[in-house]
Amino acid sequence: MPNNLTVIVLAAGGGTRMKSKTMKVLHPIGGRSMIGHVLKAVASIEPQHVVAVVGHQREQVGPHIHEMLPEAVLAVQETQDGTGHAVRVAVEAVLESGAIDGTVLVAYGDTPLLTGESLAAFAADHEAAQRAVSILSGIVDNPFGYGRIVRNHEGDVEAIVEEKDANRDQREIREINSGILAFDAEFLVEALPKIGNDNAKGEYYLTDTVQLARDAGLTVGAWAIDDVRQTEGANDRAQLADLGRELNQRILTRWMRDGVTIMDPATTWIDADVVLAPDVTLLPGTQLLGATVVAEDAMVGPDCTLKDCEIGSGARVVRAHAELAVIGEGANVGPFSYLRPGSEVRARGKIGAFVETKNSVIGEGAKVPHLSYVGDAEIGEGANIGAGTIVANYDGIKKHRTKVGRHAKTGSNNTFVAPVEIGDGAGTAGGTVVRRDVPPGALAVSSGPQRNIEGWAQKKRPGTAQAEAAAAATAGEPQGERDVSHGGPSGVGQTGSGEEQS
């Protein structure tokens, strides 16, 4: 790119058809705002200046633009008097801090499919042809609403006529102004004050620069883009969804070309900032959102939503919902797992069915296979957490941490009352409520020995099916002589041994 390029992004309009308290250009699509996509494309061609024109709800839009592109200059357009007026406001903002020369590109903040490559190719064509004004045009089936490109017998561009100002013949023209224009800066600075508002909308049309250039004997031309969808804006939610689907299909196609298997593109959604390695497999119903990164040979899906997650190579994630979580190499998650922010499953670890984790590390090869909540905890390498374990991390006022040592094996239906530490190689019996630290290698038992009251069903529930079943089972047995020595420390009661389906 030449080093004297200025890009103006127009985003002052109200976008009323969105019927939203959120400004149009801030509506998300593919994990970024619409204007976020445009700014990303603009930044990729490395312009000298970027000016964004803001107006409506600028207290929302301005900070967002600065977050996306800190070097962007904000120009405030108090009243939306037309695209010509908006560009004038932008040019004045640049002139305040110095000169403006070379090429000025004008784009809109609501065209999320626009790429930096297209902008660069358009600017290069404009400069090679040494035009005063270049129009990025497109041939469309339904030109309604767009400015039409009017050409003379030689095929030269004579004017852009807006829908409302067009006559019947002009309305038939299918070559339209995408709105993206390139200017020679010197010409633009002189032309802007000459634009009037004597038209159907009473606005200052930027497109009037075409006529002004021709009147001055300068060159005007159009560069028709094949991929017109890149110039499409979303004015309402239906168009937003339509562009969202198109953007998604483009992202999926790119990843498939780069070696990712996507079994069902129709139900797979990948945000623009997601990064995937070759030989990743995505099964139906998978949404990879935000800054999610998936390493090679990992398989995700069916039915997963992963936002801002890091998935290690060869990991397997099935029917899981995860946010800000790290899933290590060869780890196994799901089905039906919920990983909240700060969850980390290290290499070959496992989080199984109906397990929720938050702000916790599941160590290398450690397993939380069934029906558990693990919050603010550190589970040591190779440890196994029994089915139905609850880490009681919250005492009603504060959150506390729980630590389970390396290769510890804890029983089913335990409660770990934080803060508490279970030592390396320690164990806990089934049903234990762990309130005190367990030393390494010790077995914690908190439930009392079991007591059986013989004949209870027949005595207390006479005449019921329960009593009858009990009577039938004990017929002929003398009462009171059955073994009552169940329970106690021998009844460790582990399940969830960590084997795949225990």
Q: Which is nearer to ligand UD1, 83 or 337 (CB)?
A: 83
Q: How far apart are CA 235 and CA 148, in angstroms?
A: 19
Q: Which is nearer to ligand UD1, 176 or 306 (CB)?
A: 176
CA distances (Å), 272 to each of 7, 276, 353, 373, in order? 22, 11, 30, 32
Q: Which is nearer to ligand UD1, 233 or 382 (CB)?
A: 233
In angstroms, what is the minimal distance from the CB of 77 to ligand UD1? 5
Active-site residues: which are they? 370
Nearest to 306 by CA among 331, 282, 330: 282
Q: Which is nearer to ligand UD1, 118 or 177 (CB)?
A: 177
Footprint of ligand UD1 on this chain (CB under 6 A)? 10-13, 53, 77, 80-83, 85-86, 108-110, 146-147, 160, 162, 176-179, 205-207, 233
In angstroms, what is the minimal distance from the CB of 112 to ligand UD1? 12
In angstroms, what is the minimal distance from the CB of 97 to ligand UD1? 21
Strand, coil or helix: 279: coil
Handedness of CA 140, 146, 152, 157 (dihedral sign): negative
Contact 69/170 with Cβ under 8 angstroms?
no
Strand, coil or helix: 134: strand
Nearest to 318 by CA among 498, 500, 494, 496: 500
Q: Which is nearer to ligand UD1, 147 or 382 (CB)?
A: 147
Q: How far apart are CA 385 and CA 494, in angstroms?
A: 9
In angstroms, what is the minimal distance from the CB of 184 to ligand UD1? 18
Q: Which is nearer to ligand UD1, 173 or 470 (CB)?
A: 173
Nearest to 411 by CA among 438, 388, 393, 395: 388
In angstroms, what is the minimal distance from the CB of 237 to ligand UD1? 17
Residue 208 exposed, middle or buried by CB count within 10 Å (0-12, 13-18, 19+): buried
Nearest to 24 by CA among 202, 175, 243: 243
Q: How far apart are CA 401 and CA 389, in angstroms?
A: 15
CA angle 51, 54, 57 (to 5 degrees): 155
Contact 42/107 with Cβ under 8 angstroms?
yes
Nearest to 422 by CA among 462, 377, 487, 473: 377
The enclosing H or E element of 379 equals strand 377-379
Q: Which is nearer to ligand UD1, 105 or 206 (CB)?
A: 206
Contact 75/53 with Cβ under 8 angstroms?
yes
Q: Which residue is at the shortest CB distance from ligand UD1?
A: 147
